[in-house]
Amino acid sequence: MLLDPNLITVWSINLHVLDAELQSLEQLLSSIEKARADRYKFDTHRYRFIVARANLRLILSKYLNLPPQEIKFSYTPKGKPFLADYPHLQFNLSHSQDLAVYALTWNSAVGIDLEYQKDIDGLRSLSERFLSKAESQIIQTSSTPQHTFYKIWTLKEAYLKGTGYGLGKLSEVSTIWGNGEIIGLTINNAPIDWMIYQFYPNSYIGSLVSPIPKAIAFQANLDNINLDNINK
């Protein structure tokens, strides 16, 4: 399967699967991934991690023409996975509740974040603690403050994931607003020329960023891949 260099492809995967499928998906993971899954305290979180990471392998296998078990990940110091053997294929993933999203493109960084829009207790104090004063004020004066918080949060996190900085740099990234919408980002108060895009699947909000403007294509399934054949 070819990946258009002028396109960012976004896959969305339902993380709720039957036990038999979960067991098959787990067999696709490396020993490192299985060990990481086992560190989760709650089964629900462990299952979601397994399904999300196994589907990342399945998606990448479609573009690399490799069995998903043979894909080898390297990791940045902040834990971001990448493909050392295929550096031109860039990807990022995020999952929340029962949904995972994956962004893939060629020859440019890409970041994606997804959040389920649940009710937030102490929204004002949370905003004042983690966001800029201007962003906190925008949230407090918004007619939909929780939705506005998620718009800001996911976009900033998508950028931090795309660059590999991690949340330790959260205070350095801010959103630029115009006519009631986010129109850009700044890093240490300097505007950055990155493409930003937000999408709203059901009760979720997703944000996507890239330093190179590209068209976006959404994919919703993996064409019913037969896991029994893959695992043999």
The mean per-residue pLDDT over the stretch 94-115 comes to: 97
14 & 80 share domain: yes
b/e per residue 164-195 (b: at least 16 CB within 10 A):
bbeeebbeebbbeeeeeebebbebeeeebebb
| pLDDT, tens digit, 9 for 90 and up, residues 16-46 | 999 999 999 999 999 999 999 999 999 999 9
Q: What is the pLDDT of residue 168?
A: 87
Lowest pLDDT segment from 51-55, 78-82, 136-140 = 78-82
Same domain, residue pair 149 and 225: no
Check whether residue 80 and residue 160 sit in a common domain.
no
Q: Residue 226 pLDDT more than 90?
A: no
pLDDT in tens, 172-219: 999 999 999 999 999 999 999 999 999 999 999 999 999 999 999 999
Are 15 and 103 in the same domain? yes
* Phi, psi for residue 103 in degrees, rounded to 5: -115, 130
Give domain status of residue 1, yes or no: no
pLDDT of residue 79: 86
Q: Is 117 helix (H, G, I), strand (E, B) or coil?
A: coil
Q: Which residues lie closer than 8 Å to 49 by C-beta, 6 or more apart?
A: 36, 37, 40
Q: pLDDT band at residue 171, thresholds of 50, 70 and 90? A: very high
CATH no. for residue 48?
3.90.470.20
State whether 46 and 91 are in the same domain: yes
Q: What residues make up the domain containing 19?
A: 7-108+215-230
